[in-house]
Structure 1
Amino acid sequence: MYGYGFFGPSYFLVIIGLVISLWASWYVNHNFKKYDQVTSQSGTSGAQAARFILDNAGLQDVQILRTSGNLTDNYNPTNKTLNLSESTFDSTSVAAIGVAAHECGHAIQDQTGYVPMRARAALVPAVNLGSNFSIPLILLGVILGANQTLIQIGIWLFALVVLFQVVTLPVEFNASGRAIKILSSGNVLNNDEVPMVKQVLLAAALTYVAAVISTALQLLRLIMIFGDNRN
């Protein structure tokens, strides 16, 4: 009934998305490992750099915690904690300081009420719904004899995931911009080390761009397969 089929020509879109995602993942890991070998001249650790940045931004209430994993760093606006991975917390590398500064950028966004960050937070419930139920609804629609209502609801729910990822882009790029501006002051890194951080943060930002492209291609594929029932 559906002319394109799961493994028809549209499957090429999945392959393209996978290649882009794998390249982005390799690129960020390559850059982090490269500059993780460069020790900052100040000898400041990721956690120390984060504390310095937060205190200077008036965010003494934000607690810095160590979390397991590699590059699992994140800022939690709910409990106001900056969670630094084991590869960042104690490391004095240029890469670790850059990652820590990026997460501080999110904390500052939260403090200033950065609109895209608020918009992303507001989308979370709908995105969770879309992530969990979009594909099951589409498949249920097919099982029930091409029920277009269920299929279209599923596609719209999946579109919310794409929207969330698009809104995430300015949040991540802005956090990196704030981090670079702070580090360019010379209090943590010198002028020779800042360009290295820029490469690390650009590589990290490209993973979000890759995620948008990959998910958008999946949405296009769903529309190609299920969006038209004339067949």
Structure 2
Amino acid sequence: MMIVYFAVLMLLPLYAQRKVKSTYKKYSQVQSTSNMTGAEVARRILDMNGLENVRVEPVAGVLSDHYDPTDRVVRLSESNFYEASVAGTAVAAHEVGHAIQHKESYNFLTVRSKLVPAATISSNASWIFIMIGMIASWQPLMLIGIILLAIGVVFQLVTLPVEFDASKRAMNQIVELGIIRNEEEASARKVLNAAAMTYVAAAATAVMELARLLLMYTGMGNNRED
């Protein structure tokens, strides 16, 4: 049973990463009929949504695209920024979706932003407490680690609606503004769905690991009672 558990824990994220990379690679080679680069797509959607003050900048790396709410910048990987592809269009629109969420104070985005500091600290510290608690068979220490880990799990779960909503906004924008044609909708949706799968996999593995540790924790308590 444990072999199956660890196999799923390891293979699910790997499958999700492979899926997003292969899908992105495929549709990054498909020229968009609008011939708009990712930068142009992002700029047009931003301007149409009253976000003229949000900049669009290139950033090094592959699939390094993100929206920075602090500096109010949509950063696109160089290939997406400079090239006109179906994948680049979908990714650029998705990141602008986050900028629109920020403007509208989308509830889940607000919650996730507030969780970032706690999740960063807890994810780094949780396993220290868990490992020491397991080695020393000290339940209170392990419980602290599990609570810290749970904060990270909550962050992962809150991330899901944020990403799904950004993708929904992205599709609505590129369709309504005529940036993609009907035959391109399915391709753009495949890119966004593959990207979303990485977040689903991360959340699923986090929940599974938390559940396993909770079972270990209760098992420690039962052993002490025996």
TM-score range, shorter chain: over 0.9
Matched, 1:175 2:147: no
The one-letter amino acid of 2:90's match is G
2:57 aligned residue (55, 65, 71): 65
**Given the alignment of the two structures, is residue 127 of structure 1 paired with residue 129 of structure 2, yes or no?**
no
1:85 aligns with 2:68: no
2:88 counterpart of 1:103:
no
Q: Which residue of structure 1 lines up, in the alignment, with residue 200 of structure 2?
A: 209
Give the C-alpha shift of residue 101 in structure 1: 0.2
1:33 equivalenced with 2:25 (yes/no): yes
Secondary structure (helix, strand or coil) at the match of 1:38 reads coil
CA distance in 2, matches of 1:15, 1:126: 29
Q: For 2:140 and 2:146, locate their aligned partners in 1 and report how far apart those are by CA, in whole Å.
A: 10
What is the distance in 2 between the residues matched to 1:36 and 1:206? 18
Matching residue's letter, 2:13: S
1:11–1:120 Cα change, 3 Å: farther
Quote the Cα distance in structure 2 between the aligned partners of 1:19 and 1:73: 25
More helix by share: 2
Structure 1 residue 11: Cα displacement = 5.3
The one-character-per-residue Cα deviations of 1:158-214 (angstroms, maximum 9, x if unpaired) are 111111111000000000000000111243111111221011101111111011111
**8 Å CA contact 1:127, 1:164 repeated in 2:** yes
Which residue matches 1:3? none
Q: Distance in 2 between matches of 1:212 and 1:109?
A: 21
> Are 1:166 and 2:157 matched, yes or no?
yes
CA distance in 1, matches of 2:198, 2:75: 20
Q: Deviations over 1:8-59 (max 9, x none)?
A: x545423212111111111111111111111011110000100000011110
Name the SS of the counterpart of 1:79 in structure 2: coil
Q: Give the paired residue count.
A: 222
Aligned-residue CA RMSD (Å): 1.3
Among the aligned pairs, what percent are the same residue? Answer: 42
Q: Measure, in 2, the Cα distance between the counterparts of 1:14 and 1:59.
A: 45
Partner secondary structure for residue 135 of structure 1: helix
User: 1: distance between equivalents of 2:145 and 2:3?
Assistant: 19
Aligned equivalents of 1:118, 1:109: Cα separation in 2: 9
SS at match of 1:66: strand
Aligned to 1:189: 180
2:22 & 2:164 partners in 1: Cα distance? 20
Give unpaired runs (5+ residues) of structure 2.
Answer: none
Q: Which runs of 5+ in 1 are unaligned?
A: 1-8
TM-score w.r.t. the length of structure 1 is: 0.92
Distance 1:43 1:182 in 2: 16
